[in-house]
Structure 1
Amino acid sequence: MICRMWHGVTPRSKADAYTRFLEQRAVPDYRSVPGNLSVAVLRRDEAEVTHFLTVTHWESEESIRAFAGNDLLKAKYYPEDQDYLLEFEPLVQHFVVAAIENVV
């Protein structure tokens, strides 16, 4: 299993709208790809900005390619991201999951 992590930053004033965008557009897009096992969107508010961390789990590199394309570590952005994000980090991080326990 591979864990893929993406980080983005919005102005604090746009954080609630971006949260809704992620829930309505990005999460369903991730989940529609065969081999996507889970999606979690984490949010941390600071004084003027809000950080988002999207953590996804995938069965294989092939399933990630189906979502993100052949350049596995290249970040995938949506056209709407231009309305929210302060910067566009070019790369994501991948980790092989060595151990996991579901918390439910």
Structure 2
Amino acid sequence: MIARIWHGRTSANDFEDYTKFMKERAVPDYQNTPGFIKLSFLRRLEGKEAHFTLITYWKNLDVIKNFAGEDFEKAKYYLEDEEFLLEFEEKVIHHEVFSEIA
């Protein structure tokens, strides 16, 4: 299993609106992708900014490429992200999951 980790920042004023957008738009997109296993969507306020970390879990790198394209380390964004994000980080991080406890 591979974990794909993305980070984004919005203004604190967009904290709830971006959360709602991600739940309504991004989460279903991930869930409907073959090879997707699960996700953890994290958020925190830090002064005037909000930080979002999305950890998605995938069967293998091939299914990540089906989702993200051949350049699978490149971050995937939605058009609506332009309304919220303060910057567009170019890359995501991948880790092999070697142990998991529920």
Same fold (TM over 0.5): yes
Identity across matched positions, percent:
45
- Report matched runs for 1:1-104 at 5 Å: 1-102=1-102
Equivalent-residue separation in structure 2 for 1:15 and 1:78 (angstroms): 17
Q: Which whole-Å CA distance do the structure 2 matches of 1:22 and 1:67 have between them?
A: 16
Tell me, what secondary structure is at the counterpart of 1:9?
strand
**Total equivalences in the alignment:** 102
User: If the length of structure 1 is used for normalisation, what is the TM-score?
Assistant: 0.96
Deviant stretches of 4+, over 4 Å: none
- CA distance in 2: counterparts of 1:101 and 1:25, whole angstroms: 29
Q: Deviations over 1:41-75 (max 9, x none)?
A: 10011110000000000001111011101101000
Q: What's the offset of the Cα at 1:40?
A: 1.4
- How much has 1:82 moved relative to structure 2? 0.2
Tell me the alpha carbon deviations over residues 23-45 of structure 1, each in whole angstroms, 9 at most, x when there is no partner: 00000001110110001110011
Gaps (5+ residues) in structure 1? none
Q: Distance in 1 between matches of 2:80 and 2:36?
A: 22
Query: Offset of 1:101 from its aligned partner?
Result: 1.1
The TM-score normalised by the length of structure 2 is 0.98
- Let me know the Cα RMSD of the aligned residues: 0.5
